[in-house]
Amino acid sequence: MNHACLSALVLVLCSSQLPAGEFRVGAAKVDITPADGTPLGGYYRFRGSAGVLDPLFAKTIVFEKDGTHAAIVVLDLSGTVRPVVEAARNEIQKQCGIEGDHIMISGTHTHTGPQQPRGSLMDDITKVNSPPGVAYMSALPGKIAQSVKEAKAKLAPAKVAAAVGKAEGISFNRRVLRAGVKEAIWQPQKIDPATDRPAGPIDPDVGVLAFHGAGADATPLASLLNFAMHPTSVGGGVKISADYPGVFTKLVSERHGPGMISVFANGCCGNINHGDYLTGKRRTTLELGTALADAATAAWPALQYVEAFKPRVKSEMVTLERRKLSDADIAKAKDVVNRMFTENLGTVPMAEAVCVMETLDKKDVPLRVEVQVIALSDEVAILSLPGEIFVELGLAIKKQSPFKHTFIAELANGSMGYVPNREAYPQGNYEVVSARGEAGSGEKLVEAALKLLREAKEQ
Ligand SMILES: [Zn+2]
């Protein structure tokens, strides 16, 4: 081979690699809508799916620079469970060559999608281990890997821009304190402002991270959208729906070109839902999704390009203290368990009993959960948290984060259920009585998150 041929070959080899310094993005979605009869999640009862209002997806955005990849995957499911996350990461590593621990997998928390096994009484209540449930779960890791594979195949030079919109008046802190009463009221229909006040804030921020092609035409490639609110607006029937995130992402994609894959990560919404107890009104799925899409559209002109760097991924397994149980807690839970399959006992006693029995069962198993950060520039980081995190904790992270824009994906890389802030514990009720972690667990996650964010910033 002469010298000219050799240099041509070197050139070809190099260009099939990457032009140095280019940041690339690829996005894809794979349908994960279940077959009829699949056990659904979100409530303390069995519902087998029957019909589809709108499809469910595993949506992925892959980031790459100088050969380092990272990806965020969001599932239209009630959350994530660790065995699925681990199986999907293994599959992704095998099929796509992306390190498993560079993948962040979260759930939108839709309440009209398939249930996943949790290794607790919840599995019996939801019949998740029945044949349709098992069939769905065994296919899920492969579908997640498929969405990452398709996203990776579409990697193209991209520009990253971030902005924050506001959606006021659509989300509400669903815990309310009444003058003279210690225990919080949960999800009231309507409050009396003379005696009642929300127990905490909401987070009105609509985070927008937009990815456009680096060429002059700035082709829309993907967007990552972030807001904190329970997707419970469809209302617990048996028809499949992605709830308001489905409407939100569909509208954003329609408004910015069909090639744009819009991905919604739910923020810290453990105590936030859409029930407007000021007016008693409950907005529809369409109204909620449209309000959020309008907020994102209003923020679009404020998008600011950032200098993307090689994805910096940090993660840590945090060990938390399991909740302490009294003899009375255990006796009460056993009584509920004896009656829960024949009587209608209501959500709160069932949630408490499930958690108490699980805690008893796993008392010698450490409660270990993952916190993960993917930083894309000096201004932009995506943080994952492993449960349904109270909004106060998310706000504390955003306020102290060294990044200008911190996107938070809750219910990510597995879930420990509700994570209230310390102040909420003495106020009791649904989220507190079903929390796996002792008071202070949420603050420990905040601490771990801030440490990882700082490390990613300083790397
Ligand atoms: Zn929830």
Distance (Å) from CA 430 to ligand 1 centroid: 10
Distance (Å) from CA 29 to ligand 1 centroid: 24
Digit-by-digit pLDDT tens for the chain (459 residues) are: 444 444 444 444 444 444 467 999 999 999 999 999 999 998 999 999 999 999 999 999 999 999 999 999 999 999 999 999 999 999 999 999 999 999 999 999 999 999 999 999 999 999 999 999 999 999 999 999 999 999 999 999 999 999 999 999 999 999 999 999 999 999 999 999 999 999 999 999 999 999 999 999 899 999 999 999 999 999 889 999 999 999 999 999 999 987 999 999 999 999 999 999 999 999 999 999 999 999 999 999 999 999 999 999 999 999 999 999 999 999 999 999 999 989 989 999 999 999 999 999 999 999 999 999 999 999 999 999 999 999 999 999 999 999 999 999 999 999 999 999 999 999 999 999 999 999 999 999 999 999 999 999 999
Distance (Å) from CA 95 to ligand 1 centroid: 33
Distance (Å) from CA 198 to ligand 1 centroid: 18
Token digits of residue 317 = 């397994």
User: What backbone torsions phi and psi does residue 169 show, to the nearest 5 degrees?
Assistant: 80, 10
Distance (Å) from CA 266 to ligand 1 centroid: 11
Distance (Å) from CA 360 to ligand 1 centroid: 22
Dist. CA 419–CA 412, nearest whole Å: 13
Distance (Å) from CA 144 to ligand 1 centroid: 22
Distance (Å) from CA 109 to ligand 1 centroid: 7
Distance (Å) from CA 120 to ligand 1 centroid: 17
The number of C-alpha atoms within 13 Å of 185 and in the hemisphere containing its C-beta is 17
For the beta carbon of residue 101, count every other beta carbon within 10 angstroms. 15
Distance (Å) from CA 63 to ligand 1 centroid: 29
